[in-house]
Amino acid sequence: MCSPSSSYRSITLQFLFYFMLFCIVETREHVERNGPNISAIFVFGDSTVDSGNNNYIETPLKSNFAPYGRDFPNHIPTGRFTDGRLFTDFLASYLGVKDNVPPYLDPTLSLEDMKTGVCFASAATGFDPLTAQLTNVISIQKQLEYFKEYKTRMEVYIGEERTKKLINKAVFIISAGTNDFGINYYGAPFRRQMYNISTYQEFLLQQREKFLQELLELGAQKIGFVGVPPIGCMPILISLYSKNALMYRGCIEFLSSAARDYNRMLQIKLTTTKIHGVKIVYLDIYKSIDDMIKNPQQFGFDKVNVGCCGSGLIESAFLCNPSSFVCSDPTKYIFWDSIHPTEAVYYNVFQAFRPMFDVLSNN
């Protein structure tokens, strides 16, 4: 039986219900119009940006154990090759999309987590397909395949139209090239038989161009390409190439010079790529890290040519492990292990990139 007072109540409730629904719809509209301009962040490349994909593949090149992650929230060794967060994590927070960028291969990630962005990068990879083969990691071509798979999964989850918008309004960061020089060209005999350094740089730029074209076809419109850092200043390469690596630990000039030449060619390619509606920026990691190495005190550093982990001369990945000595204050070090920068460096790199990130995120 329905008494007059209860039917009155149900009308009130119905009214409240519609009113609330109206409010929810209104708020959503409001968010779409005035909220952040960026929907998500997608990351491709090597250990400079890998947040843990190598944890899920068969490779010795992992870092999901202490002392890695020492300064990450809750001290978790996530598989990032540093003591804390990467510059892409700082970028994700800055854009307001998420606190840090999770690895795509993490099976516990929900589609909702993935909606605001994921990382496809894999430590030790490069633009040259052979680089990933040498170390059995995820090639950059395979990373694109994963992004296509991601896109299909999103289309099922939120629909084709909204997936398209999500991708159009996302920031894409690509950071690779270091291993093509350090591991492949100068470390293995194969490429040097076919290419001299300039023709190899051209080859890498062609591979990068193919990658870019596919990314554009998939809908990317805001893209940041990170250059190659001063690789001659990596402690491990100083140890390998210096005539007396214990006494003379200056940067190895021919290696850094190969990086600079490549970066110069890359910048020319990027500034001459003009596509309507697409923004592409160059992110100058070389200058940022070189500034810190040349003026360490100005940035609060005092160790520039050894890593914080182990002897600092050769350790990385499994050689930097729970039984390694760890320096007491990584914020005083440019390098965390013999290859990778500390979180303190990545934070400064993020700061140096900010004007370019603003170019990407302004409508």
Asked if 224 and 171 count as a contact pair (C-beta separation under 8 A), the reply is yes
Residue 37 C-beta: closest distance to ligand NAG, Å: 4
Active-site residue, selected from the candidate residues 128, 316, 340, 361:
340
Asked if 116 and 40 count as a contact pair (C-beta separation under 8 A), the reply is yes
- Give the footprint of ligand NAG on this chain (CB under 6 A): 36-37, 196-199, 361-363
Residue 27 C-beta: closest distance to ligand NAG, Å: 18
> In this structure, which amino acid lies at residue 202?
E
Q: Is 340 annotated as catalytic?
A: yes
Residue 92 C-beta: closest distance to ligand NAG, Å: 13
> In this structure, which amino acid lies at residue 28?
R
Residue 256 C-beta: closest distance to ligand NAG, Å: 16
Distance of CA 63 to the CA centre of its chain: 15
Q: Is 358 annotated as catalytic?
A: no
Query: Torsions phi, psi of 92, nearest 5?
Result: -60, -45
Asked if 118 and 173 count as a contact pair (C-beta separation under 8 A), the reply is no
326 in helix, strand or coil?
Answer: strand
Active-site residue, selected from the candidate residues 47, 139, 175, 361:
47
Asked if 183 and 134 count as a contact pair (C-beta separation under 8 A), the reply is yes
**Of 133 and 199, CB closest to ligand NAG:** 199
Residue 264 C-beta: closest distance to ligand NAG, Å: 14
Of 314, 341, 140, 317, which Cα lies nearest the Cα of 229?
A: 341
**Of 140 and 228, CB closest to ligand NAG:** 228
Residue 130 C-beta: closest distance to ligand NAG, Å: 19
**Of 152 and 199, CB closest to ligand NAG:** 199
**Of 272 and 363, CB closest to ligand NAG:** 363
Helix, strand, coil in percent for the chain, rounding step 5: 50, 10, 40
Residue 196 C-beta: closest distance to ligand NAG, Å: 4
Question: CA-based angle 322:325:331, to the nearest 5?
Answer: 105
Residue 336 C-beta: closest distance to ligand NAG, Å: 31
Please report where in the chains the tokens 């350790």 appear, as a residue: 315
Distance of CA 132 to the CA centre of its chain: 17
Asked if 321 and 337 count as a contact pair (C-beta separation under 8 A), the reply is no
Q: Which residues contact 163 (CB under 8 A, 6 or more apart)?
A: 151, 154, 155
The CB-side HSE value for 307 (13 A sphere, CA atoms) comes to 33
Distance CA 78, CA 149 (A): 23
**Of 162 and 279, CB closest to ligand NAG:** 279
44 in helix, strand or coil?
Answer: strand
**Of 12 and 199, CB closest to ligand NAG:** 199
Q: What tokens does 221 get?
A: 């419109």
Of 88, 69, 89, which Cα lies nearest the Cα of 80?
A: 69
**Of 42 and 357, CB closest to ligand NAG:** 357
Q: Is 50 annotated as catalytic?
A: no
Active-site residue, selected from the candidate residues 39, 83, 337, 338:
337
**Of 37 and 242, CB closest to ligand NAG:** 37
Distance CA 138, CA 124 (A): 8
Task: Determine how many CB atoms are found less than 10 A away from the CB of residue 150.
Answer: 20
Active-site positions read 47, 337, 340
